[in-house]
Amino acid sequence: DAKTTQPPSMDCAEGRAANLPCNHSTISGNEYVYWYRQIHSQGPQYIIHGLKNNETNEMASLIITEDRKSSTLILPHATLRDTAVYYCIVRASGGGADGLTFGKGTHLIIQP
């Protein structure tokens, strides 16, 4: 799986959009970008994934650059409950059969 780089921490004001970047310059053609988050002392939670098109669901939007070397997870209206560590993971398609490799992630702190 390709390596990812994320900033270690970010702050965002409550109610504003939180934009979390991820670099994955060595991503290959069949690899997807996944985002998970982990709230303190809980199991990780799946957020969203994409291949090359932008994706949106009830939780977030995922913007992938045209060259696929980076992506941004957008939480449109951050709340205090969005404070968590966010992990960007790149993995091959059909990845349900493979364990995940977690990096250090980004600790997002939502400020009131």
Contact positions vs another protein (CB under 8 A) = 32, 34, 36, 38, 41-46, 49, 87, 93-105
Cβ at position 14, least distance to another protein in Å: 25
Cβ at position 41, least distance to another protein in Å: 7
Provide the edge-to-edge strand list for the sheet that holds 55-56.
18-23, 70-75, 61-64, 55-56
The beta-carbon contacts of 94-99 under 8 Å, at least 24 apart in sequence, are 95/32, 95/34
Which lies closer to another protein via its Cβ, residue 31 or residue 82?
31
The gap from C-alpha 100 to its chain's centroid, in whole angstroms, comes to 13
Cβ at position 76, least distance to another protein in Å: 20
Cβ at position 7, least distance to another protein in Å: 15
Distance CA 51, CA 103 (A): 20
Distance CA 100, CA 108 (A): 21
